A and B are shown apart, each in its own frame.
Chain A
Amino acid sequence: MSADAVIDARDVRVEFGKRREAMTAVNGVSLVVGHAEILGLVGESGSGKTTLARAIAGLQAIAGGQVLIEGTQIAGLRGGRLRRMRRRVQVVFQDPHASLSPRLRVGYLVCEPYTIHGVPRDERRRAEELLDAVGLAPEIAGKYPHELSGGQARRVSIARALAIEPAVLVADEPTAGLDVSTAAGVLNLLSDLRDSRGLTMLLITHDLNVVGAVADRIGVMYMGELVELSEADALFEAPRHPYSRALLGAIPVPDPTERTPGVPLEGEIPSPRDPPAGCRFHTRCPMVHDTLCATETPALSQTDQGLAACHWWREIAASASLIAEAPSLGTRDAGTPTQ
């Protein structure tokens, strides 16, 4: 909890639904992101990463905990104070076309933040300048959103978010729906923005390859909880949580000489309305475990590489050093039940 944390989320809880339908989408997550740092939040469907990101951006009400942006709590802000907070945190949404109002031209859309926040005329930059900062030609200003390609629309969203010079950028799946080379361009752009403007970024994605390319630190989420949080290098070289290891092992390596038989993780995510007792991952965890995992939820604790929420991280650390780079944990047993 450093004094200069730009994003400070403390024990955030988000719940949906009422009574019998209630589910906890985010279950007590804490994280801190500093100045000019990119934190990647990865997880699969149902991990709660998008919900958490929305909560941090102030777009989702939280049921517990606090979110502080530049030291100020965002819950309970109203009116003018809320708007000022919005100037500091900007969001780039997942679907690049859907987030742009369809009947307005790009030029208007990128400059709209100035109007919304009443920025004096002499402080505004021209639409063409804003577009240029994200690598788009000035002619784009005259087009409508549906006339843009996916990559262009994505860059327009980023340009718009940057217009009022926020401190924080929350990017939700910034490469979703984009071709490989276009996606690479967007990732390079995000990297550059962090370097040139000192932007703090929260990058949400399901794709570990994407996050590996730009993130400084990475948080892994499973069923609404943060199961591992460490420096990017540390995570890729020495993951300390079985789920992180499984995720890494599941990524198809673009090298046909490295084909591994067997799958890293069997079964599917349990229903979020009825999460498993104890460690939420224990029903699918390939590690040898005993009743501890089924009864006691592991807290996020300090390991030799960062933070991990697993009772057995020391065993994982030990086995990792014995088996160099073992991407899949064990082979598939024909008789092992998956649930």
Chain B
Amino acid sequence: MSTASVLEVSGVDVVYHAQSLELHALRDVTVTVAPGEIVGVIGESGCGKSTLANLTLGLLPPNGEIRAGSVVLDGTDLVGLDKEALRRLRGRRVALIPQDPLQSLNPTLTIGRQMADAVLAHADRRGRNGGELRRRMAEMLERVGIPDAAHQLSRYPHEFSGGMRQRILIATALLLGPPLLVADEPTSALDVTLEAQIVELLRELREERGTAIMFVTHNVGVVAQLVDRVVVMYAGRVVESADVRAFFADPRHPYSRALLDAVPSHRRRERRLATIPGRVPSLAQLPVGCAFADRCPLAASVCHAVDPPPVVDGRSVVRCHARDPRSGWQQAPGAA
């Protein structure tokens, strides 16, 4: 937890107010991203990964409330900042690569105009000069693999294919050189061959520029191929965090293990896939104790009573009584 971290989310609680309910989207979430590091955040629906992404961008919806914790982005705590202050940080300190390239671009403006908007929104010495700005934009487009970039600036989004649009969005995100990129399922809408291209592009960009990336996805394969560290979320909590190799070699949390077992792979073609019994609990009515206990093959009585605290082991963190020597967890007779 050095002060040089690009992102330090510490003990954050986020609650959404929907009608008369309170949804606990994030509970005591701690995530750190070091400069130039790629962190993969994985989890299924309702785990809170999208909330985490929005939080980092300072873009929680109006009914979202940060009840506790701090979100320190490149040295500045986002909690408590007003809208204008947050706006100034977006683009310069953190930028978004969104999921759907089609919906994220305005169909009535040229891409050159939209890219320029990203820069001009931060009126400072950088690139106010039109010619200089165009040069930088063209350079960035070339870098992300769009040929003949100078001419493409005057084209409209519909003239590009999905893969190209995603590259344009990546170029836009990089224009102001933010130290952190938040990629929210950037390849979910793309074919697998295009996905491979984008993943390769992100790898290269990290090498060249030292940009850190928070990569939010449900795709376990992409995570294995791209990230340095894995953060697994379930029902609003971080249940495991580890280096990617350590994680895939030996996932410590039962949910992580179950998740990896359920992923179909063309290399492992058994007839029946492992599934996780039960369903994710409602965020409005979380059970006492560990939220995964009802579905966990290792669940013991302590799991249903006490929410497991994070246990740090070198560079890994796990929230599980079964992995905590001091928890009083006892293997149930006959359990796997």
Contacts and interface: CB of A to CB of B under 8 A. Distances in A.
Complex contact flag A–B (Cβ < 8 Å): yes
B196 A265 contact: yes
Contact of B220 (A45, A150, A180, A184): A180
Interface stretch (A4-12, A27-35, A68-76, A245-253): A245-253
A209 B266 contact: yes
A254 B192 contact: no
Contacts of A212: 264-266, 269
A78 interface: no
Interface string B254-265: 000011101111
Interface residues of A, number: 47
B269 A232 contact: yes
A248 B225 CA distance: 15
B156 interface: no
A263 interface: yes
A198 interface: no
B274 A184 contact: yes
B307 to A, nearest CB: 22
Nearest to B221: A252
A41 to B, nearest CB: 15
Contacts of B218: 179-180
B164 interface: yes
From A208, A248, A252, A255, residue with most partner B Cβ within 10 Å: A252
Contact of A184 (B45, B248, B273): B273
B315 interface: no
A251 B266 contact: yes
Contact of B193 (A188, A211, A264): A264
A271 B137 CA distance: 27
A213 B264 contact: yes
Interface string A241-284: 00000111111111111010111111011000000000000000
A297 to B, nearest CB: 22
B225 A250 contact: no
Contact of A252 (B199, B245, B270): B199
A184 B200 contact: no
Nearest to B277: A181
A185 interface: yes
Contacts of B104: none
B191 A44 contact: yes
A234 interface: no
B263 A253 contact: no
B264 A184 contact: yes
A180 B248 contact: no
A240 interface: no
B183 to A, nearest CB: 14
Contacts, number: 129
Interface string A150-174: 1000000000000000000000000
Contacts of A184: 262-264, 273-275
A125 to B, nearest CB: 25
Given A45-B191, A213-B273, A254 B162 contact: no
A255 B272 contact: no
A236 B248 CA distance: 23
Contacts of A208: 192, 266
Interface string A117-154: 00000000000000000000000000000000110000
A254 B44 contact: no
A52 interface: no
Given A256-B224, A256-B245, A268 B161 contact: yes
A206 interface: yes
Given A179-B218, A210-B264, A254 B273 contact: no
Contacts of B164: 268
A214 B266 CA distance: 10
Contacts of A259: 225
Contacts of A209: 221, 263-266
Contact of B263 (A45, A247, A254): A254
B78 to A, nearest CB: 29
A228 B272 CA distance: 26
Given A184-B274, A188-B273, A213-B269, A254 B196 contact: no
B317 to A, nearest CB: 18
Given A180-B218, A213-B269, A257 B262 contact: no
B200 A262 contact: yes
A332 B93 CA distance: 32
B102 interface: no
A335 B224 CA distance: 29
A263 B221 contact: no
B57 interface: no
A72 to B, nearest CB: 32
Nearest to A248: B266
B163 interface: yes
24 contacts: A44-B192, A180-B259, A180-B262, A181-B262, A181-B275, A183-B264, A187-B273, A188-B273, A213-B270, A213-B273, A236-B269, A247-B192, A248-B266, A251-B192, A252-B221, A252-B222, A253-B224, A255-B224, A256-B224, A256-B244, A262-B200, A263-B200, A268-B161, A268-B194
A-B residue pairs, 6 tightest by C-beta: A252-B221, A212-B266, A44-B191, A184-B273, A179-B44, A213-B264
Given A179-B44, A180-B259, A252-B221, 5 more contacts: A181-B44, A252-B199, A254-B221, A254-B248, A265-B197
